[in-house]
Amino acid sequence: MLSSAEFLYFFRAIEETLQLVAWIVFPVALFNIFKIVWMDYVVAYSGDSWISKFQWVMLEVIPPKDLERGPKIMESILVGITGVLTSPSIFDVWLNGFAFMDRFSLEFVGEEGTVHYYIRLQKKYRNLVEAQIYAQYPDAEIREVPDYTEKFPKVIPNKYWDVWGADFEFVSDNPIPIKTYDRFEEDITGTLIDPMAAMTEVLGTLSPGQHIWLQFILEPIPEGWFKEASQKELLAKLKKEPVAVKMSAWGHLWDVVKNIIPGILGEVSFASTAAKDLQPLEFRLTPKEKEVLKAVEDNLGKNMFNTKMRLLYLGRKENFDKSYIGTFIGSLKQFNDMNYNQVKPENVSKTYGSYLGKKKRLALRQRKIYNRYKKRNVDGVRIVFSTTEMATMFHFPDYSVKSPAVLRVSSKLGVAPPNLPVR
What pLDDT digit, counting tens, does each position of 100-137 carry?
Answer: 667 899 999 999 889 999 999 999 899 989 999 999 88
Specify the DSSP class assigned to residue 275.
P
Say if residue 56's pLDDT is above 70: yes
3-state secondary structure of 117: strand
What is the predicted pLDDT for the residue at 273? 43
First-to-last CA distance in the chain? 108
Give the integer Cα–Cα distance in Å for 167 and 190: 34
Residue 85, judged by CB atoms within 10 A of its CB (0-12, 13-18, 19+), counts as: middle
Name the CATH code of domain 55-223+303-393 (choices 1.20.58, 1.25.40, 3.30.200, 3.40.462): 3.40.462
Q: Return mean pLDDT, the chain.
A: 79
Q: Residue 260: is its pLDDT beyond 80?
A: no
Q: 350 with 239: CB under 8 angstroms?
A: no
Q: Which residues pair with 221 in a beta bridge?
A: 304
User: In which band, very low, low, confident or very high, does the pLDDT at 256 lie, cut at 50, 70 and 90?
Assistant: low
Residue 308 has pLDDT above 60, yes or no: yes
Average pLDDT over residues 223-243: 68
Supply the pLDDT for residue 68.
75
* Nearest residue to 111 (alpha-carbon basis) of 416, 421, 406, 415: 406
pLDDT at residue 225, as a whole number: 63
pLDDT, tens only, 61-88? 998 887 777 788 899 999 888 877 666 6
The answer to whether the peptide bond before residue 175 is cis (omega within 30 degrees of 0) is no
Residue among 355, 369, 63 nearest 71 (CA): 63
**pLDDT score, position 245:** 55
The C-alpha atoms of residue 247 and residue 243 are separated, in whole angstroms, by: 12
Can you say how many angstroms the Cα of residue 325 is from the centroid of all Cα atoms in its chain? 20
Of 122, 130, 125, 144, the closest CA to residue 58 belongs to 144
This prediction has a pTM of 0.77
Range list for CATH 3.40.462 in the chain: 55-223+303-393
**Helix, strand or coil, per DSSP, at residue 124:** helix
The conformational region for residue 376 under phi > 0 = left, psi -120 to 50 = alpha, else beta, is left
193-227 pLDDT per residue, tens: 888 888 999 999 999 999 999 999 998 888 766 56
